[in-house]
Structure 1
Amino acid sequence: MNKTKLWTKDFIGVSAGNFFLFMTFYFLLVTLPVYILQGQGGTEAQAGLVTTVFLIAAILIRPFAGQWIGMFGRKKVFVTSLFLYLVTMILYLVATNFNALLALRFFQGSSFGMATTAAGAIVANIIPDSRRGEGMGYFVLSNNLAMAIGPFAGLTLFNGWGMSAAYIACIVISVIAFIIGLSLVADHSGSARLGSMFRLKLHPKHLFEKSALPIALTGAFFSVGYASILSFVPVYAEELNIDGMASYFFIVYAVLLVLSRPFTGRWFDQYGENIIIIPSIILFAVGLIVLSLADGAVLYFVAAGMIGIGWGTLFPSFQTIAIARARPERKATATATFLSFYDFGIGVGAVVIGAAVAGMGFKTVYASLAVYVLIGILVYMTAAKTKKEKHHSLSL
């Protein structure tokens, strides 16, 4: 058996399953708020709440998902969560009022949090150590591709055929993800009985992986800035009078990321973290500056490419570091810790940046965020120093 083989059946399978899972996430991320405003006569606050509740549920469940993976195994948790996700997706067809929709979003967010944690744990287990940066980069690329395709396909389907068609498409995609999950090789890492799932250890040391905290906090710091892209770039396009091109921002983002991925992941493994992370931070910041200077489509898409390479490289690099620092039996918890802080940063960023845009405007906010991201170099170096000091103390 070749210990350095990356593109195994399971690696391809879990990456594909992750892609389809995130496809439905982005489908609903862009269509549900519009549906609530236009189809149900809801308010802007209600439209925002369906996303917030989903993310809160994902954040709350992840620390427990890490323990369940240790109890039952990575594949069982992944398949179970994909099945629950599919069930909630089917129930959208009968959710006729806002309260039912909100409850459904909470339960679906919980299953999403479990599935993404389990997927990360599976990948961490099967990627060869010598190709960890490269492998994690390709795995996270499945998220990025979904982010590029999902909103575009979702809005196209919703505008052409309505919300029911969007729901049915998401159900079909969720079925595909579930079937892929079933096809993965059986995981014998956990053998607990079903009744033990509620015997959880609630001390923070069991819910979070201490070794992953410095880089998880660093990831949260940067994800606050990334929230400005995920949540507000389409709105900014309207201000620039190019709203018809807004959905292509993430297409450009993904194309440049795909082109850079074969190099960045390999360089991470060959030359170390700093060689990749610090230039990526700078590129992310420059992309934000270019975005703040945009007055039309050209700079808007130049910024998309820069941010795609910059942030698109940072996220898998941080996640790789979080997993690499943890002991083998704690890698699932390390994954949960990193993703929980990442989602928290996205949630906080969406609220804070939304308020800042209302007071200062998009151009000032994006220029200010460029400075914020550059300050992140110090945040990252502090986290890297913490790692070195800990390693030194253990070696004495």
Structure 2
Amino acid sequence: MNLTRPKLWTKDFIIVFSVNFFLTFVFYLLVVMIAVYAVEVYHASASQAGLVTGIFIIGALIGRLFIGRLIDTIGRKRMLYIGLGFFTLTTCLYFAELGLPFLLFTRLIHGIALGIASTATGTIVAQIIPPARRGEGIGYYSMSSTLATAVGPFIGLFLSQHTSFQIIFSFCVATGILSLITALFLYVPPLKVPTESSAQTGFKLSSFVEPKALPIAFITLIGAFCYSSVLSFINFYAIEIGLVNAASFFFIVYAAAVLVSRPFTGPIMDTRGANFVMYPAFIILGAGMVLLSSASHGVTFLIAGALIGLGFGNIQSITQAIAVKLTPPHRMGLATSTFFIFLDAGLGFGPYLLGLIIPLTGYSTLYIIMGIMAVGTTVLYYFLHGKKEKAETASMNASGSV
């Protein structure tokens, strides 16, 4: 047994963690106020305001789809600089009040920039994390996004209540510049890319996504689809059941549960295999959804938030670690972009699809359905990855005991 564990919290890991936090922070800060901005400044309708918010996700999907095949050709660090520079420049476009179509264009290309930059950070962090601590490392890295989901909306709402839209956009530009300056101090080790990988030509599926990561990415899609019901409709549900005050703390409790669990779940994956985290996570997510469906008190409502955080928060980080683990180093960029494409698709298109059935089910029944779906995903996970993971973990433990 090796008593000296490779260092995880290196300078470069902290830099990538910070840059990803800044990116996600700006995204969530703008999410909570951009629809209001569209209505107040451009007199947008409710559906137009919703499009202003959602078209960003479409942009991110476009960015991720094309960066995967280019990142190792252009270079991971160079691609990060391109993404961060583009992200900062497109943030400046919010100052130009040129009509609603231009705002939609700005949101689209801003989303593309985020897709490029965040896929680059996810690829780089997978490269610099020691392989023996990959599950733990990606778990800690994904905490940067979790923190941003709690801090971003809070700061966004605070600024929108106490200052002007122009000040908010200036703050976002300053954050983008800070992320770019921070990234200048990052060192990314050179990567040896097999000659045959750089010679790919033509339109192939494997040029845009990593086939080996598709099964686990599909699991991510289902988990994100379930969670999108919370992300998009929790406030409407809270109003319906009279728990608006508790709803304001829901995502803070969610983030706290994720942060508390991360020091444990990542190392468990590295030492005992992903199944020891994934199966309980599906069940906990399902339990959180069912509890949410029957919540009648603030405490119950927030406990449901904690369970959903423990469930989906760990599903998200562990599936990302699995996607990276399944692919060779020179395909990490594609594996990372594949993971995020499916994650964004679940979060972005889920609300639209679920919105079609809410008039038929109501919110309470919807969360019961999502809970059943979450628990049922354990079966699909077993056939797509869990069975293979079990065999590999058993083999690794047997070889380690010799």
Question: Does the C-alpha gap of structure 1 residues 321 and 157 become closer, same or farther in structure 2, counting only changes over 3 Å?
Answer: same
Task: Give the aligned length.
Answer: 385
Residue identity matched to 1:103:
F
Q: Supply the RMSD in Å over aligned alpha carbons.
A: 2.2
The yes-or-no answer on 1:22 pairing with 2:49 is no
Preserved contact between residue 208 and residue 336 of structure 1 (Cα < 8 Å): yes
- In the alignment, which residue of structure 2 is the partner of 1:346? 347
Q: Is the Cα–Cα contact under 8 Å of residues 72 and 189 in structure 1 kept in the other structure?
A: no
Q: Distance between the aligned counterparts of 1:309 and 1:270, measured in 2?
A: 19
Structure 1 spans left out of the alignment, 5+ residues: 192-196, 392-396
User: TM-score normalized by structure 1?
Assistant: 0.92
Amino acid at match of 2:142: V
The 8 Å contact of residues 61 and 341 in structure 2, kept in 1 or not, is answered as yes
Per the TM alignment, residue 3 of structure 1 is displaced from its structure 2 partner at its CA by 7.2
Moved more, 215-224 or 166-175: 166-175
Describe the SS at the equivalent of 1:294: coil
- Check 1:26–1:330 CA distance in 2 against 1; reply closer, same or farther (3 A cut): same
Match of residue 399 from structure 2: none
Q: Confirm or deny: 8 A CA contact 1:92 1:167 kept in the other structure.
A: yes
Equivalent position of 1:240 in the other structure: 241
| SS of aligned partner of 1:208 | coil
CA change 1:329–1:5 in 2 (3 A) is same
Cα separation, partners in 2 of 1:120 and 1:4, compared to 1, 3 Å? same
Deviations 1:336-374, CA, capped at 9 Å, x for gaps: 111111111112211111222233211111111101111
In the alignment, is the contact (CA less than 8 A) between 1:152 and 1:247 conserved in 2? no
Paired residue type of 1:223:
A
CA contact (8 A) 1:31 1:154 kept: yes
CA distance in 1, matches of 2:390, 2:242: 51
Deviation at 1:255, TM superposition (A): 1.1
Q: Distance in 2 between matches of 1:173 and 1:167?
A: 10
Tell me the equivalent position of 2:397. Answer: none
Structure 1 residues 299, 132: closer, same or farther in 2, change over 3 A? same
> What CA distance in whole angstroms lies between the structure 1 residues aligned with 2:192 and 2:44?
45
Deviation at 1:111, TM superposition (A): 0.7
CA contact (8 A) 2:18 2:144 kept: yes
Matches within 5 A, 1:1-396: 4-186=6-188, 188-189=190-191, 201-384=202-385, 387=388
Q: Which letter maps to 2:268? A: W
1:181 maps to amino acid: A
Question: What's the secondary structure of 1:185's corresponding residue?
Answer: coil
Deviation string for 1:159-180 (max 9, x for gaps)?
A: 2213222212211211111111
State the one-letter code of the partner of 1:285. Answer: G
Structure 1 residue 380: deviation in Å?
Answer: 0.9
Offset at 1:188? Answer: 3.8
Q: CA deviation at 1:7?
A: 0.5
**Residues 1:204 and 1:17: Cα distance change in structure 2 (over 3 Å):** same
**Post-superposition offset of 1:389:** 11
User: Aligned partners of 2:51 and 2:91: how far apart in 1?
Assistant: 18
Q: Indicate the SS of the match to 2:248.
A: helix
1:169 maps to amino acid: F
334 and 307 in structure 1: CA distance in 2 versus 1, 3 angstrom threshold:
same
Give the partner amino acid of 1:168.
S
The answer to whether the 8 A contact 2:210-2:334 is kept is yes
One-letter amino acid of the counterpart of residue 374, structure 1: V
1:88-121 C-alpha deviation (Å, 9 max, x unpaired): 1111011342111100111111111111110111
Measure the CA separation in 2 of the matches of 1:3 and 1:82.
33
Checking the alignment, whether the CA contact within 8 Å between 2:191 and 2:330 is kept in structure 1 is no
Q: Secondary structure at the match of 1:10?
A: helix
Distance 2:306 2:390 in 1: 36
Q: Secondary structure at the residue paired with 1:4?
A: coil
What is the SS of the residue equivalent to 2:144?
A: helix
**Structure 2 unaligned regions, length at least 5:** 393-402
Quick check: 2:274–2:389 contact (8 Å CA) kept in 1?
A: no
- Structure 1, residues 310-354: CA drift from partner, whole Å, max 9, x if none? 111110100100010001110110001111111111122111112
Name the CA distance, whole Å, in 2 between partners of 1:236 and 1:179.
41
- Structure 2 distance, partners of 1:53, 1:265, is 33
**Preserved CA contact (<8 Å) 1:201 1:207:** no
Identity level (%): 36
Q: Deviations over 1:286-313 (max 9, x none)?
A: 1111111112321111111111111111
- For residue 190 of structure 1, report the CA deviation from its aligned partner: 8.8
1:326 alignment partner AA: T
Secondary structure of 2:42's counterpart equals: coil
Letter in 1 for 2:242: N
Would you say the 8 A contact 1:69–1:190 is kept in 2? Answer: no
Distance 2:192 2:280 in 1: 40
1:219 positional shift? 0.7
In the superposition, relative to structure 1, how do residues 296 and 389 fare at CA in structure 2: closer, same or farther (>3 Å)?
closer
